Amino acid sequence: MTSQPTLNKTGNDPGGPGEPGAEGSGLQAGLKNRHLSMIAIGGVIGAGLFVGSSSGIATAGPGILLSYALVGTLVVLVMRMLGEMSAANPTSGSFSAHADRALGPWAGFSIGWLYWFFWVVVLAVEATAGAVILEGWIPAVPQWGWALIVMLVLTATNLVSVGSYGEFEFWFAGIKVVAIAAFIVIGGLAVFGVLPGVDSEQAGLSNLTAHGGFLPNGAGAILTGVLLVVFSFMGSEIATLAAGESENPQQAVTKATNSIIWRVAVFYLGSIAVVVCLLPWDSKSITKDGSYVAALDSLGIAHAGQIMNFIVLTSVLSCLNSGLYTASRMAFSLGRRGDAPKAFARTTSNGVPRTAILASVAFGFVAVFFNYKFPDSVFLFLVNSSGAVALFVWLVICFSQLRMRKIIKAEAPEKLVVKMWLYPYLTWATAALIVFILGYMLTDTEHDGRQTILLSLLVAAVVLVIAVVRQKVGGGRSAADAPQAQDGERSEVSAG
């Protein structure tokens, strides 16, 4: 593999300091180690964990733990593959840039734009969710007003510098981490009867088997549970994108990859286990109030709903902040490789891809508008058509790693500081599991799985056709250009 360019740490921009189109500034190493650590920890904790877990528990009962364990294992394996490639070649394009090199420009183009599409739709979903909570606290401001305020504030944050993004995310993610850790500790004490004032007959390990058994709705409910929880894990890969703007990308990627196992085990499996032990899985309060609110209520904690609303709000803001960052960096990477307008690859003297950020947030604003004007038609289409992108990304990571391992070993074996376990057998097994989940979604009509996968496949097919046509008619890069394009993607090339 050819040598990687060095990240600029100062804005010595030959095109003129502060000019948005100035060549030479590029992405800068503005993220500190504590930022990367918290992004890695918090990135795997989405608002979906707090909001969406109740439907999974209602569907699979205590067996939802197996659903979370199955998806968690999948995420760990995919992150290991991504960590192998990203540690060898840290880049703001992450898996899109790796697919570009390993599979061809068509793959990098397709998965990059699909991933961008996913996150700009998420911006609208999360902005609306945050607006609902804020309107409940301060009804004088309409819901659309809160959505606008939230989007504007976080856009401004991302436009200042990557350091300001990192600082906001450090505190947002920190609140999530502290909240879940406290929940697990307090709930765990209650489950074992150590916490005073808790109904010992209701809380306990017996809830795992007492109400119809561990799998009250049969073993098939585990797979249905997988479909309900798989999308709450999206975001674990953000650390590999952000690592490209840290002072030691390789170390950051390695640390994030190695810590994914305990992060999934503690924050997902640990907190869900506490919920299903505190309350019977079929308790009406779980579906009525939400799993975590119901669990807090069972502990006799006053204002449990408002406490959880605050935690969900921080998760929403965290997801918005990271979503805008991630979408803009993917757009930047696509611009660097010639797969998006060149303006997307231009940065300010602070190393901020201003045009990429503004383009991403503009689509986010359009999606918010659709959510308020056409929630059951246009916006529903956007949400469903981006729903399976997470699985597409993971599948592309698998196939990219199969090829990239050979490339890295041939060109720079010393860069294999993170290695996928049992290569290539475990990689193929992971890919097979992802394909199986995608296939199982086609049979799911009760939870809109079939609609989601069909619409997502439709959008993916359109993007793929565009990618192939661009390459055929000469508008895109040739396969031979892919390595050079990826190599130059991490920073702007200094102009003479």
Residues 322-348: tens digit of each pLDDT: 889 999 999 999 999 999 999 999 998
pLDDT the model gives residue 198: 61
- Contact between 92 and 333 (Cβ < 8 Å): yes
362-408, pLDDT tens digit by residue?
Answer: 998 898 888 888 888 888 888 888 888 989 999 999 999 999 999 99
d(CA 49, CA 219): 22
**What confidence score (pLDDT) does residue 5 get?**
34
Residues of the chain where predicted confidence (pLDDT) is lower than 70: 1-25, 43-44, 46-47, 197-201, 474-496
Q: Please give the pLDDT value at position 293.
A: 87
Query: What pLDDT does residue 271 have?
Result: 92
Q: How many CA atoms lie within 13 A of 365 on its CB side?
A: 14
**CA 372/CA 209 separation, integer angstroms:** 43
Question: d(Cα 402, Cα 397) in Å, to the nearest integer?
Answer: 9
DSSP three-state, residue 92:
coil
Q: Which stretches within 141-229 are classed as H helix?
A: 143-160, 162-191, 220-229
pTM for this predicted structure: 0.87
Q: What pLDDT score does 50 carry? A: 80
Alpha-carbon distance of 70 to 79, in angstroms, equals 14
Burial class (CB in 10 A: 0-12, 13-18, 19+), 471: middle
Q: 3-class DSSP state for residue 353?
A: coil
Tokens describing residue 346? 């231009």
The pLDDT, as a whole number, for residue 487 is 39
